[in-house]
Structure 1
Amino acid sequence: MDRRAFFRKSVAGPAAAAELDFLPAQTAPGAASGEEETVSKFANRALPDTARATGTLAAYTGPWGAAQAAHLLRRATFGPTRAEILAAAGKSLAQVLDGLLAVPATPAPPVNGFQNDTSVPVGQSWVTAPFNNDFEYWRLRSLRAWWMGQQLQSPTLTEKMTLFWHNHFVAEFDDVFESRYAYRYVALLRRAALGNIRQLAKDVTIEPMMLRYLGGNQNRVGAPNENYGRELLELFTVGKGPLIGAGNYTTYTEADVQAAAKVLTGWQDSRDNINGFYTDSRHDKTTKQFSAAFGNKTITNQGDQEYKALVDLVFDQPSTALFLVRKLYRWFVYYVIDADTEQTIIQPLAADLRQNGYNVAPVLRKLLGSQHFFDVQNVGCVIKSPLDAVLSAARQLPVSLPPASDVLAQYGVWDWLVDRATVMQQKLGDPPNVAGWPAYWQTPEFYEMWINAVTLPRRNQYTDQLIDAKGYTRYYTGGNYKLLTDIVGWVQALPTATAADPNLLVGELVRLLVPVELTANQLAFLNDTLIPGLPDFEWTVEWNAYLAAPTNATKKAAVDTKLRALTRQLMGLAEYHIS
């Protein structure tokens, strides 16, 4: 498979060129000089030129309440509930960041949640079972479902960062097709999610999933495989600086790729032991010479420890910290990095990352707790990824999810959520290529790539399914489970006066589901959706009538129908799809 075919294009438009002068990471990784990409006539041809945030990395000291808490939680988790927002608003920003950066207990491994895998009993883990090609498809579905379940239940930064590292140190499940390797890989990313990036780079280098994915298991003396060495430099660490010659950049050269490949010779993967292992006879024991980009340094033979010297060498380069911080910024804040942002945010954070020995938690604390992060320009400027869209709806709506005791139902529903994100073009475990999802690197479209003629209807169909009064039935081998959404109970849990007043009610749901203020016309439209053509007091009367007789099916159906219509319209707004 030619993993780099998709790179042979240039995606930088005229307006992006000026930014690329000092932001080389924004070029399409591996783009060849002079080549052009065919871009849809409807796509952005230039980066937005609206004024960007001017806040600094100084600690945020402005107003702190539900709006600010919601902004932070939307970016740090997969859709905060109203209870989580109010709980965060009742604490200080420092306390909320402490909670988000807390490392949760290691979750129990995935189990067989599908009767189709007959090699392992339902409810029993397969992560150390013998490889069985006949059931790998189902085990990978089990892993994806379990991973989705972790994201659905997570109140901390760990899961958002686990996904970030998956998009950074990419390995594709379907490509490798080894569920035990895939589980080890995800477990590694989760353990390291808030930890040391340098150590993660070392660990992932000899992880069996990565050895198999990028051909490291075929890399041996006399026949070096350059795949991983190239991606380590171009996509995982130093990135591509300005082009200075054929295949050579200010940050690395072709000779550096070749030297890195030699350093990494000797490693293979073992299906029997489910690990990576080193064979000395396959290792190139010559001295590896690196270019001026790396200070003309050399790496001598160090056997099975030599790969660590390579990782240390690339992490000693200032460009590595800059490259990583830019990716974190685009993940949590916004995709446009202008000259001011580069100078006042990216460079200081990169210096902090190096000063902290590449421990990521202090950098995340500073970024997410900064004036810049809470600047109004950075609120509601991110288009939700498909995973964000799927998970936030399932978390924020009062959806009845299966209990852990019903393994088939739980995995069946989690599997459906994976499928919903997949049809919206983000398949968990399978970014489209080694560079990750293009929405985080392809200029000038970036996040806008998530919304198109295929994905937008899928998003609306999904939320409509959750809101439907009849519920959504998930069928699976061995049974079915109906997801029901208690919209009336959801509204009844609001303060009494809020639930009874149509304007207060609309405002409350807007604040939960939408990150920006709506216009007066939009609010009036939503009000009219709730009580079409009627004065406000009609809702108060109808709601109080239901409260007076909650077991009366007619009265309950009357308010339930109106509330579902309101929720459907609200989740159909363009503003609902931003974070």
Structure 2
Amino acid sequence: MVIAEKRMHDPGNNSKPVPAINAGIKRFKGKWTPAMAQHLAKRTLFGASPDDIRFFAGMSLQKSVHQLLNANEAMPEPPLHYLNDERFTDPDVPLGSTWVNQLTYTGMNNSRRENSFRAWWVGLMINQERSLREKMVLFWHNHFVTEMRSLGNALYGYRYNSLLRTHALGNFKVLVAAITRDTAMLRYLNGQSNTKKAPDENYGRELQELFTIGKGPGSHYTEDDVKAAARVLTGYAIDTKTLTSNFIGNRHDDTDKQFSAFYNSTVIKGRKGNDGILELNDMLDMIFAQEEVSRFICRKLYRFFVYHVIDTITEQNVIEPLAKTFRKNDYDIKPVLQQLFESKHFYDAGNRGGMIKSPVDFTLGLCREFKVAFPPPQDYVNQYGLQQQLYQQASNLQQTLGDPPNVAGWPAYYQAPQYDKLWVNSDTLPKRSQFSDRMMLFGFNTKDKTKILVDPVAFAKQTSDPGNPDVLINESVHLLYMVELPQKDKDYIKTNILLSGLQGMASDHYWTQAWQTMLTKPADAANLKNVTGKLKNLYKYLMNLPQYQLM
């Protein structure tokens, strides 16, 4: 299966090209259409249900972006101990209670808590409000990577995730400072082992290479800068009683730290004792004085939300203006995202349907698009159990929430030249089809047979006239795809799927009659089975086409 590219100026593109994208970052002032609303929703949420599309289409572009950036969301309730099994008890945490305040743990109950955390996180994505926050939590998780499997305690992972959620749409510089002191990061990149007697360069290197300056054309920090940064960061530790981070003055290197000409030969004055903690602010001031920080982060945001190729035109017309806005607003993230999502460039036809869905977008987006019904919060055992299964499905497709493959994140977000094409290969593409087929035909269920399953009749009712096969097919395609489906493919679907086996086959009347009979005589089991079966085949077929892999 070949998934077509959208851009003419993408190297290696052999598909029919569209005009090169020259639109800049100026605000879009044209007509706000449902297709544009759908594009915005699919890029900023995990999947877009028909209700989401109608919601954003019913307001202006500016109000839509304002909603995404300023939704009044409370912080979510913490994850629960949910495994109702004698073999998997958590003696310190009653069933149905949260474990995030419990400091004691063992290898066994920690594994259960990790599962609880992952299921909880999946639930937040599925039940997200019309807000950018959850998508930004994933963005920052891929940027400031930690791996649950190396932390040793689920509590570190939960606190790290909560930190990302708290600062997801806040100030980037404040977030960098908070991440530097975070217990998960201190464990993951050896910050707790970094002392004046044995400086550890791990975090000092990644702070510059992956978190702030990057490896772009304007990044010229040196190995000596890495060593100097490591010395600035000495003294941080984890209190084993409270499992929180602290600063131990006598472990801190209080000598002066000399940086290279890239940082204007800055000298960070050594501070003694607990005052050594103030050197972090001095170093961040020095780093954030470099314009390359703003460019690096804007490029990452662009590749996450728009497209993987950043050519000369895009660098000049989009990245540079966004970076200027970032600096002008003292590294607050909202003004940058607002400018991007309100721009002509973002809505250029060549940028729509040009990204391959990540595994999380594919699996959880399917659930949200089809409004799959999950157990209510009071049935947390089954709710968490099903969400854990979805986590595993995304993991099978090579995106394990909580555990990116390395400190650089998932390669699909940074590995040139393939980028998002890495999500689809000979192993993962059949698994994607297997997942969508199962959600349509059988679903997933827990031990007591509680099930999640697509309701094809309910989705068909989201179209304006589901009894008309042409309307049903056209509008279903537009709801599920960001690219057009050729008419010959729609004709095939109508004749060989929707009307297959019906008398006359090519006559729309027979589908219309079957649909109306279902509405007026719901007790007619044979007709209901016939209609439901054909709708299942219709949506199963649509989700197996290449177009469904794109957003």
Q: Does 1:224 align with 2:192?
A: no
Shift in CA distance, 433/471, structure 1 to aligned 2, threshold 3 Å: closer
Q: Match of 1:153?
A: 127
Structure 1 distance, partners of 2:58, 2:11, is 44
Quick check: 535-544 or 402-411, which moved more? Answer: 535-544
- Encode CA deviations 1:328-381: one digit per residue, 9 max, x unaligned: 000000000000000010011001000001000010011011000000000000
Structure 2 distance, partners of 1:272, 1:82, is 49
User: Which letter maps to 1:88?
Assistant: F
Q: Does 1:499 align with 2:466?
A: yes
User: Which letter maps to 2:550?
Assistant: I
- Encode CA deviations 1:195-237: one digit per residue, 9 max, x unaligned: 0000000000010000000000000002100000000000001
List alignment gaps of at least 5 residues for structure 1.
1-18, 20-43, 243-248
- State the SS of the aligned residue for 1:374: coil
Q: Match of 2:383?
A: 410
Match of 1:545 among 517, 522, 527: 517
Shift of 1:290: 0.3
> Is the contact between residue 226 and residue 261 of structure 1 (CA under 8 Å) also seen in structure 2?
yes
Match of 2:479 among 512, 519, 528: 512
Q: Does 1:169 align with 2:141?
A: no
List alignment gaps of at least 5 residues for structure 2.
1-8
Shift in CA distance, 241/492, structure 1 to aligned 2, threshold 3 Å: closer
Structure 2 distance, partners of 1:367, 1:91, is 18
Q: Match of 2:83?
A: 114
> Is the contact between residue 66 and residue 85 of structure 1 (CA under 8 Å) also seen in structure 2?
yes
> Is the contact between residue 110 and residue 143 of structure 1 (CA under 8 Å) also seen in structure 2?
yes
Q: Match of 1:490?
A: 459
Structure 1 distance, partners of 2:31, 2:293, is 35
Structure 2 distance, partners of 1:127, 1:412, is 19
Shift of 1:241: 4.1
Identity of aligned residues (%): 40
Equivalent residues in 2 for 1:301-450 (5 A)?
A: 301-302=270-271, 303-450=276-423
Shift in CA distance, 143/99, structure 1 to aligned 2, threshold 3 Å: same
RMSD: 1.7
Structure 2 distance, partners of 1:240, 1:67, is 36
- Encode CA deviations 1:537-578: one digit per residue, 9 max, x unaligned: 221121112222112111111110100000000000100000
Q: Does 1:199 align with 2:174?
A: yes
- State the SS of the aligned residue for 2:446: strand
Match of 1:284 among 250, 253, 264: 253
Q: Does 1:54 align with 2:29?
A: no
Shift in CA distance, 229/342, structure 1 to aligned 2, threshold 3 Å: same
- Encode CA deviations 1:49-92: one digit per residue, 9 max, x unaligned: 96542111111122212111000000000011101111111111
> Is the contact between residue 382 and residue 450 of structure 2 (CA under 8 Å) also seen in structure 1?
yes
> Is the contact between residue 213 and residue 219 of structure 2 (CA under 8 Å) also seen in structure 1?
no
Q: Does 1:84 align with 2:52?
A: yes
> Is the contact between residue 251 and residue 319 of structure 1 (CA under 8 Å) also seen in structure 2?
no
> Is the contact between residue 474 and residue 483 of structure 1 (CA under 8 Å) also seen in structure 2?
no
- Encode CA deviations 1:89-113: one digit per residue, 9 max, x unaligned: 1111111111101241111111112
Q: Match of 1:64?
A: 32
> Is the contact between residue 131 and residue 178 of structure 1 (CA under 8 Å) also seen in structure 2?
no
> Is the contact between residue 383 and residue 450 of structure 1 (CA under 8 Å) also seen in structure 2?
yes
> Is the contact between residue 81 and residue 90 of structure 2 (CA under 8 Å) also seen in structure 1?
no
> Size of the alignment, in residue pairs?
525
- State the SS of the aligned residue for 1:277: strand
Structure 2 distance, partners of 1:395, 1:65, is 21
User: Which letter maps to 2:100?
Assistant: V
Shift in CA distance, 113/239, structure 1 to aligned 2, threshold 3 Å: same
Structure 1 distance, partners of 2:449, 2:530, is 29
> Is the contact between residue 266 and residue 281 of structure 1 (CA under 8 Å) also seen in structure 2?
yes
- State the SS of the aligned residue for 2:450: strand
- Encode CA deviations 1:505-551: one digit per residue, 9 max, x unaligned: 01111111101111111211222221124322221121112222112
Equivalent residues in 2 for 1:470-485 (5 A)?
A: 470-475=442-447, 479-485=448-454
Q: Does 1:93 align with 2:85?
A: no
Equivalent residues in 2 for 1:555-574 (5 A)?
A: 555-574=527-546
Off by >4 Å, runs of 4+ in structure 1: 44-51
Structure 2 distance, partners of 1:372, 1:347, is 13
Structure 2 distance, partners of 1:457, 1:345, is 36
Structure 2 distance, partners of 1:448, 1:70, is 22
- State the SS of the aligned residue for 1:346: helix
User: Which letter maps to 2:542?
Assistant: L
- State the SS of the aligned residue for 1:212: helix
- State the SS of the aligned residue for 1:276: strand
Q: Match of 1:40?
A: none
Shift of 1:47: 7.3
> Is the contact between residue 216 and residue 296 of structure 2 (CA under 8 Å) also seen in structure 1?
no
Shift of 1:48: 7.8
> Is the contact between residue 217 and residue 268 of structure 1 (CA under 8 Å) also seen in structure 2?
yes
Structure 2 distance, partners of 1:406, 1:199, is 38
> Is the contact between residue 259 and residue 267 of structure 2 (CA under 8 Å) also seen in structure 1?
yes
- Encode CA deviations 1:237-264: one digit per residue, 9 max, x unaligned: 111245xxxxxx8521000000000000
Shift of 1:489: 2.7
Provide TM-score, normalisation by structure 2.
Answer: 0.93
User: Which letter maps to 2:189?
Assistant: L
Q: Match of 2:3?
A: none
Q: Match of 2:209?
A: 234
> Is the contact between residue 386 and residue 444 of structure 2 (CA under 8 Å) also seen in structure 1?
no
Provide TM-score, normalisation by structure 1.
Answer: 0.88
